[in-house]
Copies of this chain bind each other. A is one copy, B any other.
Amino acid sequence: MQFEITKEYIENIQQLIIDKHDNTLLKSLEDVHYADVAELIEELSTEDSLYIIKLLDSDFTSDVIAELDEDDREKILKGLSSKEIAEEIDELDTDDAADIINELPEEQKEEVISQLEDVEHAKEIVELLRYDEDTAGGLMAKELVKVNENWNVLTCVKEMRAQAEEVTRVHSIYVVDDSDVLKGRLSLKDLLTTSTRSPITDVFIKNVDSVNVHDKTDEVARIMQKYDLEAIPVVDELGRLVGRITIDDIVDVIKEEAEKDYQMAAGLVDDVEADDSIIELTKARLPWLVLGLFGGLGSVFIMEGFDAALGNYKELFFFTPLIAAMAGNVGVQSSAIIVQGLANDIIKGSLFKRLIKEVSISLISGVVLGLLIIIFGLVTSMDFKFSFTVAISMLCVIIIASLIGTFVPIILDKRGIDPAIATGPFITTSNDIFGIFLFFYIAKSILGF
């Protein structure tokens, strides 16, 4: 059932473009889904892509353009005139249209908007441009089906048919009063299973979830997931129905959110992708590396402070990378669990219980790992007092590292800062320094140097 873009298919298309065999080209692309054409375009040169975009109908290419990666879309739009862009946007739903206009250079935005043919559509797009990208208003579309609570069912069905022509997918039919205030919804299922003679007030569901136009997108995602909604109406401050958000847009929000956390944990500052430019990738990577460098230079100072140990206990220095790695790994594990727990809203109970739990986990892990070190010491005939010291210090480092990993994200979250920034290099670097200091300090207390 799935269409696959093979190398042969791409080469065939490229040859058809060179030969300008427009009819054969049109034939090869007919019946191909717009998402597949978008994938094809990502493989072609900008010139070839523009050739195809200009050849095909704008009611099809508009969907292709909306489907493209932001970077690829930018290249295509640069090759189109404002008039041509306006033609594409005329065909799109308001939410996709507003997203694309938002990506245009400032000076081109007005020009494109002024060339839109459908004035009603243009007005709705301009309204959407007012909202922040990360709010319900920035995510919603104006396309929806609504009926007035005072209508009878026959009027509703007639009106709905007319409205449904404009809407790609009908999820719910919203019921509003004369001032457009959201009153409830009609489910399509009820519509299928109810006699057409029933009065509308008898049929519609009065209790309907909605979000405010200024609600954050991650909150909208949480609500839609929790209540298993496929679409949610968006209301303004006065409760008036101004748009609706569908689950496919929320899927993108959820994915982006998850990817952002993953990238932060991996020490990437910006949202980068493997096919971004070298400069973009470096800009996303270098900041955390510089932080790591400063952390590393900090531990140079700490170790210089303990260089008296070089006399009798030079092996302590051989163990520092191990200690630093343990502190880092334990810290990242603890913080990842907390960050995910915070995101899924399952960090419950008192902080004291959480403390007891973390200490217990690190005690068990620390004792197991400490025993392994002592066994290693026996096998390599190390001085017992020395390997015991390393084991004990490591146990302390693990406990402290796990507490830092646990409580730094909790504290950040309480202060309204995204706890995900605490994962990855931030925790590893601070745990490195702290772990190395603690290791030498405890070793010095036991061994005395």
Contact = CB atoms under 8 A, between A and B. Distances in A.
Given A161-B193, A357-B278, A333 B273 contact: no
A169 B254 contact: no
Contacts of A281: 337, 357, 361
Contacts of A261: 262
A321 B346 contact: no
Contacts of A165: 193
Interface stretch (A15-23, A101-109, A226-234): A226-234
Contact of A425 (B170, B329, B346, B429): B329
A265 B332 CA distance: 9
A209 interface: yes
A172 to B, nearest CB: 10
Interface string A164-196: 110101100000000000000000110011000
A250 B247 CA distance: 11
A383 interface: no
A228 B141 CA distance: 15
A340 interface: yes
A313 B281 CA distance: 35
A55 interface: no
B326 A372 contact: no
A272 B339 CA distance: 12
A337 B300 contact: no
Contacts of A273: 337, 340-341, 344, 346
A399 to B, nearest CB: 13
A192 B169 CA distance: 11
A275 B348 contact: yes
A328 B326 contact: no
Interface string A312-354: 0011011111111110111011011110110010111000000
Interface stretch (A73-81, A110-118, A126-134, A363-371): A363-371
B322 A320 contact: no
A445 interface: no
Nearest to A38: B226
Contact of A328 (B310, B338, B428): B428
Interface in A185-243: 188-189, 192-193, 207, 209-211, 223, 225-228, 230
Given A1-B210, A278-B360, A432-B321, A296 B258 contact: no
A403 interface: no
A361 B282 contact: yes
B346 A290 contact: no
Given A170-B189, A248-B228, A322 B337 contact: no
Interface in A260-314: 261-263, 265-268, 272-275, 278, 281-282, 285-286, 288-290, 292-293, 295-297, 299-300, 303-304, 307, 310, 314
A361 B323 CA distance: 29
B31 A361 contact: no
B2 A223 contact: yes
Contacts of A429: 325
Contacts of A364: 278, 282, 286
Contacts of A263: 336, 340
Contacts of A35: 226-228
23 contacts: A1-B209, A1-B210, A1-B211, A33-B227, A164-B189, A254-B258, A255-B258, A258-B259, A265-B265, A265-B266, A265-B336, A273-B340, A273-B341, A285-B330, A286-B365, A286-B368, A293-B372, A296-B325, A297-B373, A300-B318, A320-B321, A321-B436, A332-B424
